[in-house]
Amino acid sequence: MASMSRRFVVLSLVLSLLLALAGGARADVGGIPLVDLKPGVVLVLSGGGTRGISHIGVLKVLEELKVPISAIVGTSMGSIIGGLYACGYSAQELHRLVVESNFLDLLSDRAHRERVDTGDNRPPGGVVSLFQVHFDKDHDRIGPMGGMAAVGLFNYLNQITATRASGPSFNDLPIPFAAVATDLQTGEAVVLRRGNLASALRASMSIPGLFDPWTMEGKLLVDGGLVANLPVSIARELFPGHPILAVNLSPDDITKDRKSFRSITDVISQTLNIMTAQGIREEARRADLLIAPNLEGFGILDSSGYDRIVEAGETAARGMSPQICALTDSCSLAAVPPTPSASPEPRRIPPVTALRIEGLPDSMARDIRHQYQHWVGHPLDMDAVNLAADRLSRREDFVSASGYVEDQGDGVAVVLSFQRRPAMEVGLDGYVTNLHTDRWVNLSAIRRDLVREGDVMDFQYRFGDQWGAELRYFTPYRGNSQWGFSLTAREENYEPSNAPADEWERYGFRGVYYVENGNTRTGFGVLAEHLRIDGRDEDSVGPYLHLAHNALDNVLYPTRGYSVTADVWSPKLETVLSRTEFQAYLPWQEDWRVVLRGGVETGDNSNPAHRAYLGDQEELYSLADHPLQGEQAVWAQLGVGHTLMKTWWGRINAEVFGTWGAVYEDWSRTAEGWETGVSFSIPGQFFNGRLLVVYDQSGEFTFGFSLGDPVWWNSPMP
């Protein structure tokens, strides 16, 4: 019911925004002078969600016919395909980048958080839960403003365009380009022709309700299709005197059969068709030639059939080859494959005359400026700018970070532009399973800029069979380092299969200084705890070390790379408590992966709260309710995973696995267990779900399920 209500909220947002913006609109085309274009056609590419992949097929035919393209104007998906082509990617390269990539995975913010969860040792990047509310500094509600942030898509676009789009404006691209978005405040079209190219593309495709609006040049921008889904008039104003070749993905007849409405995306797609139909017809009449691929049966967020969508564009363009060639003198109906273009003339490298920071408060901007002020006075090194933006984008206090340049006459100004997270976030989520009794509802809140600009505090309270609370605070980053502390309080109880049941209350303090170097985060500090156990109080304090390294390509569904996380605490000179976990992924054929997971936990057998437990964090599902207890624990899992289905809200994955684990006393094995099974998981933007069947060494089958994200607070350390 909660998921259903969320969908109705999303749909109502879409409808209200479309009605509000359906009125007259004008194009904001100022700020960038007109450019003398080479002879050829001006290509106009319309929006259409994943149907826009058909633009690649059209481009393939234009390449075969050797049709010169003077400029490109795109909206929504048309801007993404057009922008990538304009910055130098061929149609074949676009096919590989878009069709063969996990395109829908990029839409999920959760799917592309840069690092695995490292517990207490990383500042919160934001509340990720089914129910969440955002507030500004004045405690006025400001979101969420969409179903998906699609930051992963922006990061991907920034990665593949950063070195190709380094000029002050999009006129400097190999093909001059403009992206069309809609100003959410005024309802006017905004033509984006400068700044960070990936930001322009991300802004242009922000379908209201589905995706968060995107901020650029001080404007809150949404999908350009609301006011100019086929921007022929804008193209004529920007690039007069050239024939317009437009590609329209919207059907002439918007009537649909009742059975075609199967999901919320079908409703949104038809709503967009209805609201934009009249404007598209008028714009289509202004084009010199219109190509309209037959995309019947494809939706705006289809998860498959990409090759057929490309083929539809190719078929439509090839069927109009004579008309296309009639637009230009440079055309070959013989369809000779294009020859590689000559290397462009080397461009003069301008000096950096200024460094500007956008989107940050003064104190944070000063820190960033101090790190990169050495760029000023030296020749522009766009690789260094892009590397800095990539590193900064991994910080949890930023939604995104990007770099671009502005012309200063005698040089260029480097601009580092940031989008920050809300000042306050509140969320409600939980975890439920039939594997064990450790189920809970979790209330969480995050507050930023509490004491100083750039700091963050978060609080969590867990309701369930075992209560728990945690308060964490992190100072602002200073370069690549920061301080952090946490206060924890929780109840723990265990019913081991090889020892008597026990329970206790644990209160802890952790103060740590953290240093980051690329994908590695190291922490040094002190950890103290107070235990109430067996009617007595016990205190411990000692040095603490944290180490985390992540080289995974994707957090939610990794296909390659590895990660390691280790926490070590010495409450007494003769005792070392630790927990180390690792995971490694190797791609195998298409949509398959080999998975290796495991870990080691060391404890103190003289204290039940400090013992090692195997199964309490689902290391072995069959031991989850009654784990094995020992002084040390070791486990390893080998699995083979496969994607059964991809949708815009996530994947359905299957994995066959085998797991072995054992507990030890002074590293002499005292008990062990193994299991083999198959799991079906649905990781996604809004929830995580899992079904599994496990056969263990006792000859029993376990049929389990879980819903939600487990956040484990049980370990030898507070």
Which DSSP symbol is given to 373?
G
Give 282-333 pLDDT, tens digit per residue.
888 899 999 999 887 776 666 667 888 999 999 999 999 999 998 887 776 6
For 128, phi then psi, to 5°, come to -120, 95
| Residue 259 in this model has a pLDDT that exceeds 90 | no
**Known catalytic residue: 223?**
yes
Residue 4: its H or E element = helix 2-21
Task: Kindly calculate the radius of gyration of the chain based on its CA atoms and give it in whole angstroms.
Answer: 28
Give the pLDDT band (50/70/90) at residue 123.
confident
Q: Does domain 431-503+549-707 have CATH number 2.40.160.50?
A: yes
For 79, phi then psi, to 5°, come to -75, -35
Give the pLDDT band (50/70/90) at residue 19.
very low
Question: In the prediction, which pLDDT does 164 show?
Answer: 85
Amino acid identity of residue 583, one-letter, is Q
**Known catalytic residue: 303?**
no
| Cα–Cα distance for residue pair 287/268, rounded to 1 Å | 27
Which of 7-16, 98-107, 388-397 is the least confident region? 7-16
| Residue 697 in this model has a pLDDT that exceeds 60 | yes
| Residue 633 in this model has a pLDDT that exceeds 90 | yes
Give 549-595 pLDDT, tens digit per residue.
988 876 656 788 999 999 999 998 788 999 999 999 998 877 789 99
Question: In the prediction, which pLDDT does 20 show?
Answer: 36
| Residue 396 in this model has a pLDDT that exceeds 90 | no
SS3 213: coil
Which of 227-231, 255-259, 636-640 is the least confident region? 255-259
List the catalytic residue out of 46, 76, 129, 206.
76
**Total-model pTM:** 0.80
Give 592-613 pLDDT, tens digit per residue.
899 999 999 999 988 889 999 9
Which of 105-114, 115-124, 481-490 is the least confident region? 105-114
Give the pLDDT band (50/70/90) at residue 112.
very low
Which residues, including other chains, have CB under 8 Å from residue 611's CB and lie 6 or more apart?
Answer: 603, 604, 605, 629, 630, 631, 716
Interval 689-697 mean pLDDT: 93
Looking at the DSSP bridge assignments, the partners of residue 50 are none
Domain ranges of the chain: 39-109+149-327, 431-503+549-707
116 C-beta neighbours (distance < 10 Å), count: 18
Which has more confidence, 250 or 528?
Answer: 528
Structure tokens at 459: 């609080």
Which DSSP symbol is given to 422?
P
Interval 99-123 mean pLDDT: 58
| Cα–Cα distance for residue pair 274/251, rounded to 1 Å | 10
Amino acid identity of residue 473, one-letter, is Y
- Cα angle 714, 717, 718 (rounded to 5 degrees) comes to 75
List the catalytic residue out of 28, 223, 397, 696.
223
Amino acid identity of residue 571, one-letter, is P
Structure tokens at 136: 């500004």
Task: Using alpha carbons, list the distances in angstroms from residue 155 to 23, 151, 208, 214, 620.
Answer: 33, 6, 20, 13, 35
| Cα–Cα distance for residue pair 706/60, rounded to 1 Å | 46
Interval 645-665 mean pLDDT: 85
Report yes or no: 581 and 565 within 8 Å, Cβ to Cβ. yes
Interval 379-385 mean pLDDT: 91
Burial of 46 (0-12, 13-18, 19+ CB in 10 A): buried
Classify domain 39-109+149-327 by CATH number.
3.40.1090.10
